[in-house]
Structure 1
């Protein structure tokens, strides 16, 4: 499942950057997954209001399982 793969790579990258205490690159990686990776998978995450981020799905084919994976990651 591409969602799981994308989030697995993200988690591993963040873990490595955290061990290096590389805060700037952690922020860049978060921006990259939000702005490039997730939209390619049909998922839009809008954080304009940090207290109420909005998750929008562009594709009808996104399964409930994918949404559950995202919430639990």
Structure 2
């Protein structure tokens, strides 16, 4: 019986979370979600590019130091 109560509590928790997510998604229109998605993707792309350019820079400077 204890296992069944734990399962019910788990599903109640899941249903509550899905409800909160649904309400949060309904607060914005589809166009607003598209703008936010574009902004987050642009910021993510900036940081990914910065990371790899920084690695490339460090690699090139370490080669120059070793060659001198």
Q: What interval of TM-score do these two structures reach, taking the shorter chain for normalisation?
A: 0.3 to 0.5
Bigger Rg over Cα: 2
TM-score by length of 2: 0.32
TM-score by length of 1: 0.30
